[in-house]
Amino acid sequence: MKEFLRNALCLAVAALLPVVAGAADVKERTIKFAFQNNKGHPQEMGAQKFADLVAAKSDNKIKVKLFPGGQLGGDVQTVSAIQGGTIEMTVLNSGILQVQAKEFAIYDFPFLFANPQEADAVTDGNFGKSLHAKLADKGIVGLAYWDLGFRNITNSKHPISRLEDIAGLKLRVIQSPIYVDLFSALGANPTPLAWPEVYNALEQKAVDGQENPFTVIRAAKLNEVQKYVSATRHVYNPQSVIMSKKLWDAMSADEKKIIADATAEATAYQRQVSRQQAAEALEDLKKAGMQVTELSAGEMQRLRDKVRPVIDKHAANVGEDTVKAVYAELETARRK
C-alpha cells in the first residue's frame, strides 16, 4: 500500500511539473506608450496592435496605455522622460535620436531611400540593429523600426512645382539640424517646432507650411489650414520604437519575450497599414480640397542636386564608417 501511494504521489508531482516549469514570470505592469500622431493614424494603429498583443500574450497582466497626439509632450520631451523612466515607450522619427547618437542623422538624409523596401532592408539588417544598440548607454532600448513614409511639403501660399517655388516660404521642420540645413539649401526659412504646436502655428499664419507624409497630413487635418501639397518625397522616415532601459532591465526573461514577440508582430502590421494608407490619404486630401502637385523628373533632380552639399556636410558629421555601412546595405538590397 505504501508503495502504491508513493508511486501515485510521484505521478501526481510529475504531472504538475510541466505546468510549474512553463509558468511565465510575468508581473502586473502598466506601460505608458506616448507618441505624436492621432487616433486612426498608422502610428497609433501600430501602437494599439502592440497593446492588444501584449495584453493577450501576458494574460492581461501587462497593460499598455496609449497617449496619442502629443498628450505627454513633443518627441524631445518624451525621449527625455523615457530616459528618466517616467514614460516607458514611444515611437518617433529615428533621426531625432541623433541627440543620443549622432549616427541616427543618417536616417534624415534627403533622397536616401528610393522605396520603403530599401528602408526595411537597412533598418532590419545589421545596420539598423547596430544603431539601436548605441542607445543602451543612454537609457534607451531600441525595439524595432516602423514606417512613417515619404515626407511632402504643404503650404498656404502657392503650388510648388519647381525649385524656385520653395524660396521664401516659412516652413515648420522637425527639431533636427539636417532639416534646417535641407530647407535652407532649398531657399525656405525653416522653423523647428514640436509637433503639438504645428496646427495652431499654421492656423495663425506664424508659419506658411510644413512637411510630412500624406498620412500625417490627413490625420492632423492640416487640409483645414493648408491649401497646397507637393509630392516632393524628399525624406523617407523610418520610426524607432523605443523603451526605457529602466523598465527593460526590470523585466523578467518571460516579460522581455512577450514585448519582443508583440513588437515583431505589430511591426509587420504597422508597416502594411501605413503603406496601404499612404495612397488613400492622398486621395482623401484631394477630396478635402487640397491642390496636389507632382514635380517632374527634371525638377526632382534639381532638388537632389541642390541638397547635395547638405548630404556631404552631414556625412562628415555622422562619420565615414556609418555612411559606408548604410550605402553598402543599400547596394546589397538593390541587387536582390
Q: For all residues of the chain together, what is the average pLDDT?
A: 92
Query: 139 Cβ partners below 8 Å, 6+ apart?
Result: 82, 83, 84, 85, 244, 245, 246
Q: Is the pLDDT of residue 7 over 60?
A: no
Chain segment 321-333, per-residue pLDDT in tens: 999 999 999 999 9
Count other C-beta atoms under 10 Å from residue 230's C-beta.
24
Residue 10 has pLDDT above 60, yes or no: no
In eight-state DSSP terms, residue 187 is T
pLDDT reported for residue 336: 80
Please state the rounded mean pLDDT for residues 123-151. 97
- Mean pLDDT, rounded, for 240-246: 98
Burial 43-60 (b: 16+ CB within 10 A, else e): bbbbbbbbbebbbebbee
- pLDDT value at 16 more than 70: no
Report residue 221's pLDDT band, with 50, 70 and 90 as the boundaries.
very high
> What is the model's pLDDT at position 18?
38
Is the CA virtual torsion 197, 202, 206, 212 positive or negative?
Answer: positive
Q: DSSP character for 166?
A: G
Residue 203 has pLDDT above 90, yes or no: yes
pLDDT at 322: 96
Q: pLDDT per residue over 47-79, tens digit each?
A: 999 999 999 999 999 999 999 999 999 999 999
CB 202 within 8 A of CB 75: no
Q: Which letter does DSSP use for residue 194 in this model?
A: -
Mean pLDDT score, 228-236:
97
Task: Please name which of 221, 177, 174 lies closest in space to residue 40, comparing C-alpha atoms.
Answer: 221
- Tell me: the pLDDT tens digits for 278-321? 989 999 999 999 999 999 999 999 999 999 999 999 999 999 99
The whole-number pLDDT of residue 8 equals 43
Q: Average pLDDT for residues 105-134, to the nearest whole number?
A: 96
The 10 Å Cβ neighbour count of residue 4 is 8
- Read off the DSSP letter of residue 157: S
> CA–CA separation, 69 vs 59, rounded Å?
28
Q: How many angstroms separate the CA atoms of 80 and 174, rounded?
A: 16
Structural element, H or E, at residue 230: strand 228-230
Output the pLDDT for position 23: 52
State the average pLDDT over residues 174-182: 89
pLDDT of residue 5: 37
Does residue 22 carry a pLDDT above 50? no
- Distance, in Å, from the CA atom of 38 to the CA atom of 90, rounded to the nearest integer, reads 14
The pLDDT of residue 301 = 96
Could you tell me the CA-to-CA distances from 40 to 23, 69, 147, 207, 233 in Å, in that order?
36, 11, 15, 26, 22
Can you tell me the mean pLDDT for 226-244? 97
pLDDT higher than 90, residue 2:
no
- List, in order, residues 6 or more apart from 252 with CB less than 8 Å away: 25, 26, 27
Q: What angle do CA 300, 114, 180 make, to 5 degrees?
A: 60
Looking at the chain, the whole-number percentage of residues with pLDDT higher than 90 is 88
Could you tell me the pTM of the whole model?
0.84
| 175 — pLDDT class (breaks 50, 70, 90) | confident
Sign of CA dihedral 181, 301, 153, 125: negative
β-strands 228-230, 152-155: how paired? antiparallel
**CA dihedral sign, ordered 114, 105, 332, 262:** negative
Looking at the domain covering 27-335, what would its CATH class be?
Answer: alpha beta
Mean pLDDT across 107-121:
95
- For the chain, what is the total number of helices (H) and then of strands (E)? 13, 11
